[in-house]
Structure 1
């Protein structure tokens, strides 16, 4: 059973190997010079802290690959609740609830696991290396608060790439989901060596202080 596998393997988790594939070259025409309205756009996105989205997630890496439906991803400041459904590895519906530095994972059968290392617990449960803490920023088109970063913009003055923590986040499509906010990412791909995480957002709305 998947829950037994977590209990047996969690304590033995180690950092991923250093072998990597060459990242595809950046498209021509990108610049690190921010457009004139970037400061205002970034400030507006930073204020966007209570939201809910749905969509799809795909992970490709040497150890395991698969896809999942994002039933919902609710965010309230730094706190998140994420429900994924997938038949991959018998995962079923799995719920992740956490804040930076802590996560509780609930498996389809109701078994719960808690950890101060969110990414390690997710890997133990699903086999996927998912940078969940950083994704809560990258999904809005923002660099995370931890670590240096580089931003690249395209000829439409739209953010095209973030490089941070060894990841390259490529923004493939933007969409004006919510009135009063700048366009939000509709599809992004995060690449780190042999690891690829793709997020496709089908719906996104502001929560307006709703209580979970």
Structure 2
């Protein structure tokens, strides 16, 4: 049995840093960190190549991807399981994203490992217990905490079911012309249980795994709230 505090375990630390880096850089670039917060980015996807696309994928997926790219004000709640360095953690997550700013809360049973991550372009902070960390960028914070960079800059968009715009992706669609899987930057993203939210198909489960090892993030039981496109304080 592992008696270390949940916040000191490698898997939980990886999750936190991954999320830190995923939402903090301006559209068009982002980088990587601590495996429970990992990769993503938005935009139109002219560079993506498709695996066996449906005949009418062009119009349907183009419209869907454009709508997802415009979705910058949202909130999700659910659970996230991270497997990293032979460890597994499953905290709860609340993620709010408003334009270029975001706030992520992670907590375990009885509020263990309660973590708050806040960021906007040029600034990121991480609060966990008595620990308060700041940096000018997610990359800097990850480098400080882990000593290396991870390609985790795409998670903000992957969580919505959107490949990153600055990197080629191989897309897989189902019979309903919905994107259900894509491969990008050495990672495989699988989208499951798609639900309609105001005309947008958003996943209730997202599996992200790296092809070369057993690193995996699984977001599940996701409940989405779409918010108006206007400045509001975080809840």
Q: TM-score, normalised by structure 2?
A: 0.66
RMSD: 3.5
Segments of 5+ residues of structure 1 without an aligned counterpart are 7-14, 17-29
Structure 1 residues 114, 69: closer, same or farther in 2, change over 3 A?
Answer: same
Counterpart of 1:203 in structure 2 is: 223
Counterpart of 1:104 in structure 2 is: 125
Number of residue-to-residue matches in the alignment: 184
Q: Distance in 2 between matches of 1:182 and 1:91?
A: 34
Structure 1 residues 211, 101: closer, same or farther in 2, change over 3 A?
Answer: closer
Segments of 5+ residues of structure 2 without an aligned counterpart are 14-32, 35-50
1:107-134 deviation digits (Å, cap 9, x = unpaired): 123x2112356367469879xx986631
1:170-189 deviation digits (Å, cap 9, x = unpaired): 1122111x22x321011010
Deviation at 1:201, TM superposition (A): 4.0
Q: Distance in 2 between matches of 1:32 and 1:100?
A: 36
Residue 153 of structure 2 is aligned with which of 122, 127, 133?
133
Structure 1 residues 166, 31: closer, same or farther in 2, change over 3 A?
Answer: same
Contact 1:152-1:161 within 8 A present in 2 as well: yes
Q: Distance in 2 between matches of 1:31 and 1:100?
A: 37
Q: TM-score, normalised by structure 1?
A: 0.72
**DSSP 3-state at the match of 1:42:** helix
Counterpart of 1:184 in structure 2 is: 202
**DSSP 3-state at the match of 2:200:** coil
Contact 2:82-2:89 within 8 A present in 1 as well: yes
Counterpart of 1:49 in structure 2 is: 72
